[in-house]
Structure 1
C-alpha cells in the first residue's frame, strides 16, 4: 500500500460525522487502492460495551468476522474467548496466546483431520448438527463436549442464516441419543438468530422456538447445561439499532427468562468489529446506459469480489460518504470493477449520491470492519486483495 499525506480540510468540512480515528486517518492520506482502515481501540470499546450487557455470559468472538491477528491479540487481552470455523482460525488464536479452553470449534462441517487436530491441542468444545458429524467427533475427539446447532425457523435478521446450518428441532432428540450412545458428552444446544438482527425484541420468537427444543431434551433425560446463543448483534448501517450494552442486556434478560441459570456463550462478530473500520475507495466511472436512463451507473474500484460480498441480495446496505456530500443527489446503481456481471452492489434499491460525482472522486464505505477482508478475492481479474491499515 502506498499513501501520501493530503490536506483533509475540504473533505472534513463537508463530512462532520466522520470525526473518528479511522476517518481522520483516511482524511489525511491518499490511497492507491481500496483500503480498510480499522481502529483497534474502537474494537476494544465495543467489547467492553457488549460485555457490560452480556454479564456472566462468555464472549466467544466470531473470528471469521475479521481474523486480523491484532484484533485477536487485543480481544484476548480483554478476556475474550473465540469461536473458530477452521483449523487455520484455531492456529491463529493459539499463535496469539489463547488457551485451548478459550476456543470453541463452532463450524458444524469439519474435516476429520481438523477435528483430530483440535483434539490434539486440547480443544474440546465442538458443534455438530448431523449424525455423520457426531461419528467423526467420536472417532477423532472422543473426549469432546458437543453442542447441537438447531435450525432457526423465524429469523427477522437482515441476513438470515437458516437452512445450511442446524438440525430441525424435531431431529434434536435422536442426535442427542446418538451422541450419548457414541460416548460423547452432549452438553447443550446452539442457534443463530441471523446476522444483523437489528432489534433485541426480534430474539423473542427464536428463543421461544429453542426453549421448546430444550424442554423436550430435558424431559427426555438429557441434562443440558450450555446454551450458545450465537451472534446476530448488529452494527449501524444507517438504520437505527439499539446501543450495544442495552441490546445485549435485553437479549440476556430474555434468555434467562426462558432458560434460567444455564451457562451462556455469545458469539458476536459483526457487532464487535464492523463499526471500527471504513473502506476508502475510488469512483472509476459514472455513466448512463442511454441518454434517457433514469439512473446513473457508478462504478467503484471495489465490488462484491473485493470485499463487499455482503451486498449480495442487497442484504447489508452500507453507507457511503464523499467530499461532495451536501450537494444535489440522484439515484445511482452502484457496481464493482470486475468483468463479472454479478458484480453489482445495489440496483433494486438505488443509492443516492451527489450528481456531481465523477471518476477519480474518493468514496468512503462506512462501518466495514466485518466480513470484508475475509471475503476479498486474491486477484480476481487481476485486482489486488483489499489493503488493511490497523491503527
Structure 2
C-alpha cells in the first residue's frame, strides 16, 4: 500500500477527510485551492506562455469559473464545452477549438459565436474551416514520435507528418485563412522530457522552411499538455520540465520566442482530486489462491476508465483504521462486465484484514474521471463530485 504522505500533507489530507465525512460513496472530492496553486505555479514557471486549460480533463463549472477568474484561456473540443464557457462569461478570444475532428456545422457554430482560433491536421478539415470560418487563424498539429513513453499516448489518431503540415500551411494561406502556428502533443503523463526537445526541433524546421521558401511567418507554437500528475510511477517535478523545455525553446528559436501556448489538463486538476470508494466484497477464486479479489463500488465505468490496460496507476490507500500485514490483491469494479477490472497485473498490496464496508481512497483522481464516467451502465448513476477550498475554512 502507498504512503499517502508522499502525495498530501497532513493538513491537506485532514481537509479531504473532513469533507468526505457522511457522504455516500463513491464520490470525488476536488480541492479548488490546489487547482489555484497549480495554475499559479505553472504561470510562474512559464511566464512567457499563455495557458489554455484543457476542459476535457474536468469540465466542472466550479473549476472553469476559478480558472476564468485567474485569467486562464481554454482549449475546447465541442460545442457543448463552448456553450458552457460562454455561459460563464468567458470571451471567445480566450478560446481555441483544439479538436482536429469536427463537423463543418460545428465549425460554423464556433465562428458565429466569435471563436477565431482553430486546430487542423487534414485537408478536408482545413477546407471546412475556410468555408465555415473564413479569415480565421489556423494551427496545424504534427505527429510526434516516441509518445509511447507517455502513460496515456496520443499518437496516430491526431496530427500529420511535418511534410503534410507544410502543405496545409501553404494551402491555408491560399484559402484566405491566417496560417498561425504549429501544435503538437507529446502524450499525456509524459515522463520523458526529451520528447519536447524533438517536437520543438520539428516545429523549428517548419517555421524556418516556411519562411524561407514560402514567405510565411508563423507566430505561435501550441505545445499541448503532457505535464504529469503524481501517480505511483515517479516523475520529475514541474520545475524540471519547465527548465528543460525553456532551454529547448531557446536553443531552437533564440532569445525571441514565438507565442507559446500550453494546454494543461491532468497536471492542473489531477492531484486536486480523491475518489472515495467502499469495499463491496473481498473474495478468493479458490481455496489456495494467494490473490484476493477486492470489489469496490467504483470502477472503470464510473470514473476509472484510465486504468484500461493498467495505463494510469493511481495510488490507493485505506483509512487509518485498516492497517497491518498486506497481501496482493486484484482490484475490480461493481458492474456486470468482465472488463471492469482496474488492476490485476500491477500487484497492488492492501491490508489482509480489509473487509466489506472499508473505505478505499484513490489519490490524484481529479482529471479524466468524472468526465469519462458512464451515464447509466448497469443503472449506476454518474459519480458525484464535491468541491471545497481547504484554505477558506
TM-score range, shorter chain: over 0.9
Aligned residue for 1:63?
55
The match for 1:346 among 343, 347, 351 is 343
In structure 1, how many angstroms separate the alpha carbons of the residues matched to 2:95 and 2:80? 13
Deviation per residue, 1:69-88 (Å, 9 max, x gap): 11111111111110011111
TM-score, length-scaled by structure 1: 0.92
Q: How does 1:1-391 map to 2 (within 5 A)?
A: 17=8, 19-21=10-12, 24-27=15-18, 29-155=21-147, 156-221=149-214, 222-260=216-254, 261-323=257-319, 324=321, 326-391=323-388
Deviation per residue, 1:219-270 (Å, 9 max, x gap): 3322111100000011111333333344234322322322342110000000
The secondary structure found in structure 2 opposite 1:46 is: helix
In structure 2, how many angstroms separate the alpha carbons of the residues matched to 1:168 and 1:234? 26
Alignment: residue pair count: 378
| Superposition misfits of 4+ residues, deviation over 6 angstroms | none
Shift of residue 23, structure 1, vs aligned partner = 5.2
Aligned residue for 1:4?
none
Gap change, CA 1:120 and 1:244, over 3 Å in 2? same
In structure 2, how many angstroms separate the alpha carbons of the residues matched to 1:253 and 1:19? 36
Q: Is the 8 A contact 1:119 1:141 kept in 2?
A: yes
In structure 1, how many angstroms separate the alpha carbons of the residues matched to 2:261 and 2:383? 32
TM-score, length-scaled by structure 2: 0.92
Gap change, CA 1:325 and 1:246, over 3 Å in 2? farther
**Which residues of structure 1 form unaligned runs of 5+?**
1-13
C-alpha RMSD of matched pairs (Å) = 1.8
The secondary structure found in structure 1 opposite 2:180 is: strand
Q: Is the 8 A contact 2:25 2:277 kept in 1?
A: yes
In structure 2, how many angstroms separate the alpha carbons of the residues matched to 1:300 and 1:259? 51
Shift of residue 199, structure 1, vs aligned partner = 4.7
Aligned residue for 1:5?
none
Deviation per residue, 1:273-311 (Å, 9 max, x gap): 011110100111111111122211111111111010111
Shift of residue 101, structure 1, vs aligned partner = 0.8
